[in-house]
Chains A and B, each alone.
Chain A
Amino acid sequence: MVAPRMSIVSVQDVSKDYLLGKAVVPALRGVTLEVEDGEFLSIAGPSGSGKTTLLNLIGCVDTPTGGTVRVNGRDTATLSERSLTDLRLHTIGFIFQSFNLVQVLSVFQNVEFPLLLQGGLSRRERERRVLALLEAVGIGDHARHRPGELSGGQRQRVAVARALVTRPALVLADEPTANLDSRTGANIIDLMRDLNRREGTTFLFSTHDPKVMSHASTIVRIADGQLVGREATGIAAGGEA
């Protein structure tokens, strides 16, 4: 291949139908999308347009009705439940709209959790990596706190740290700022953007907030389950600078 950058995500003519009672509701209708390594890509569209469905398919938590989804070169339709789980664990980081931290674990333990699932790192290494990351997202002082003791913005920072702790190739974020006020939301996007630049991690996030999209290197617009446009904002993708 001539291309110096490979596609981390390759979505080919993907459709997804949901059954609502007896009615078949199409959520995606033939979407094709390539995401290159290091992109900071925003999926934009009104709610109900299929953003979340697309992210779920890319995140290997759901499988398409038609078409193929490749993540890191692997066709998700051919993988077992176990392999999909492994793929998520090692390749993908998730940031959720409502943070989804484990309430009974401390901030430190929440971030450490994926490393424990992966195994392989010594306790000291884990500690070093988790603390460095918490420092990087700006909540190094709250390592021992429980999620319940933190503000929404702080919680989402923890979630970002958790998504990045395994050094995944791809981070998926479904409406990461929807539950935050606009200033805090902007801070989170800045944080993600910063990490994208420094680490070259590919970010894929959905949003309907134009201010948030404006930080993206690429904006993909989606409506009624179909891709309706793809534009480069001119903002440099991660690792290019």
Chain B
Amino acid sequence: MRSRGRAAAVLVQIAFRNLFANRWRTIVIGGVVLLGAFLVVVGSSIVESIDTGMRRSIQGSLGGHVQVFNESSKDTLSIYGSFMGDSVLEPIEDFAEVKVALRKVPNVREVVPMGIDQAVVATGNIFDQALERLRADVRARLDGDRSEDRARAFESGKAHVRRMVALLRDEVARARTLVDEASLRESDREELARSHADLLRATSAPFWEIELDRDPLAALEFLENRIAPLSAEGGTTLIRYVGTDQGAFRRAFDRMELVAGTWVPEGKRGALVGAYYAEEYLKLKTAHRLDKIRDALSRGRRIADDEELQRWVRENTTMTRDILLQLGPREAEELADALRAFLGSKARQLRPLLSSFLDATDGSFADRYRFFYDRIAPHIRLYLFGVGDTVTIKAPSKTGYINSVNVKVYGVVNFRGMEQSGLASMMTVLDLMTWRDLYGHLTREKGAELAEIKRAAGVKEISRDDAEAALFGDGRPVLEEGKAVRIEDPHLRGSARAAPAALLERTYSQEEIDRGVALNAAVILEDPSPGAIRRAVADVGAAAKAAGLPLRAITWQAAAGYVGQLVFVFRLILFVAVLMMFGVALIVINNAMVMAALQRVKELGTMRAIGAQRRFVLLMVVLETVAIGLAFGACGAALGAAFVKVVALLGGIPAPNDQLLFVFSGPALVPTIDATSLALALLVVFVVSVLSGIYPALLAMRITPVQAMASEE
């Protein structure tokens, strides 16, 4: 209808005139709406970016798109573990069947077997390593090696260990001053006194000049058993690893790239260490802190006014032990000379020299960082282990024993675009064979075979708990002679079961890799859109059922466990914040418009008198709030978008701490604006302004013409 169109036109006109006529009110309402829209856009773009980043990290490094695992498992697969620890899964008995069945499902590109777990890697401590070298020299000399080189190596090794013991004595003496010995238990006090005596002996000149030459093996044993344990060093480090078919893994997760070393040769056993893990956990702490300070400075932070950086510097100045212990006496002397020259210092001891060297300021940091890597790093091990090392990985197997497997580290890997992601680059990628050894699963056939052997040999099934009673219960000694030997060193216990070196050289066929146990499998799709992933979950489940495989399929998000939920939590927080924001906006707008309606009784009544229908007045007031809402909402959304753009251009929001590195999937969160955020903001603003306009409009609608006549101007 033409008239309706005109009425609408005049409605809009009056609405806008009113907005300009009541600037103060418009600004208040508009300000609230603008802020709300701004927050919606910025907030949702940040959450979306976190979502995208996490999706990329998880899908691209471990999760894939769909995960399958044994449906009879008590827990649900959680590839990053959960707050309750790692999920306990029933194994997939034969991955080969799974691979065959799932590869037939449409849209499936790759099926990657996995066994995800944690394990302990023995790294040995610096003391042990130095003693081991010394022992080798002693052995060689006892075996008749009289060469000059050997003699020099022996002397230098001896000097190094002697220096270490001296450092250790100083350290223990310092520690003793902090302990209130009277409060200790009797046994602890004795222990302390004994170790004190041991240290005195180990630092005495007669021990090194007479004892060691007279009975070197006994002296070494004394050092190993009594002195080395006093240097309270880790000796082990925890790794999270995924045992997998490395070929398939590389094809599936093509963002994985080598940072150092080589890929594990096809079919070989071997480990690829995550670069982030190597930096965070394997690198010498001093060097790692220097790296972190350098990165922070390059991002514009300053030691002078940054508490975290000051803390790192302080830690570096006090924690010099790992460096000191690694230096032989000659190296220590040379370094002390170099440091005296560099610092212009007269200090005699290396420890205070090193401390004041590491006590860097914003001005001196760059030079010292360079000096550290040029002059100090070459003499020490920067990483607990690295490319080329063969490490011993230990994990409790399914049968309850600690299984221990040697594996060679071939390379250090990164996931492109996720170099700093604690999610992606924490994992060590192992071969499937090593994982199977660690997991220690008895396949059904092997189990049956073993039972058959036991039956044939007449061995009774005795549970581990009852074993002691069964063996010793009636007091009759089973073993006539020989005494029980407690082996304290877990290395020894472990190495009894460690894979022989020959295994490291063996090449496994694809058939061997596929045939056997896995815990879960990642399914990679050709089309990874959310809809396709949902369909694939159903298709994969159906295919497994059809093939008679007891599998459960879940999305990558579900498999990511609490990590996957994190984005949901962020969304929830944002949602609540937005809800509260607009709750306030609703009240503010409502109040302002009610006041406006009351101020306009005369005007509205006049309109009613001269022929405006109630509906006209209703629409007029609602339109006013919607006009304010949309105009300022659009401004707010545009400002939000501009803000996000500027933040992105400036390099994103830098992750202020390590926890956020994980959430941001990198050193900085670069937010991107998407149409959905904008549309969402405008929709929310529209709904809120309509809602907040309704009550004032109803109020205005009820104003009668009589009221207009009565009220004075």
Contacts and interface: CB of A to CB of B under 8 A. Distances in A.
B28 to A, nearest CB: 18
B607 interface: yes
A88 B21 contact: no
Contact of A99 (B9, B704, B713): B713
B262 interface: no
A132 B705 CA distance: 28
Interface string A55-67: 0100101100000
A52 B603 CA distance: 19
A52 B709 contact: yes
Interface string A98-116: 1111111100010001101
A109 B704 CA distance: 22
B206 interface: no
Interface stretch (A36-44, A79-87, A219-227): A79-87
A88 B609 contact: yes
A203 interface: no
A100 B709 CA distance: 8
B709 A120 contact: no
B708 A96 contact: yes
Given A96-B606, A96-B708, A102-B603, A116 B18 contact: no
Interface string B190-233: 00000000000000000000000000000000000000000000
Given A62-B706, A102-B14, A118 B3 contact: yes
B84 interface: no
A116 B10 contact: yes
Interface stretch (B238-246, B272-280, B318-326, B612-620): B612-620
B452 to A, nearest CB: 96
B186 interface: no
B7 to A, nearest CB: 6
A28 B671 CA distance: 73
Given A103-B21, A104-B14, A89 B610 contact: yes
B60 to A, nearest CB: 59
Interface in B1-32: 1-4, 6-7, 9-10, 13-14, 17-18, 20-21
23 contacts: A56-B706, A59-B705, A61-B608, A61-B706, A61-B709, A62-B706, A81-B614, A85-B611, A85-B612, A88-B609, A89-B611, A90-B611, A94-B606, A94-B610, A100-B605, A100-B708, A104-B20, A104-B21, A105-B13, A105-B14, A117-B611, A117-B612, A120-B2
B489 interface: no
Contacts of B2: 119-120
Q: In this complex, which of B14, B17, B704, B709 has the most chain A Cβ atoms within 10 angstroms of its Cβ?
A: B709
B163 interface: no
A100 B606 contact: yes
B712 interface: yes
Contacts of A99: 713
B602 interface: yes
A59 B706 CA distance: 10
Contacts of B611: 85-86, 88-90, 114, 117-118, 166
A162 B606 CA distance: 12
A81 B612 CA distance: 11
A87 to B, nearest CB: 9
A174 B709 CA distance: 8
A18 to B, nearest CB: 11
Contacts of A104: 14, 17-18, 20-21
B600 to A, nearest CB: 9
A116 B4 CA distance: 9
Contact of A59 (B18, B606, B609): B609
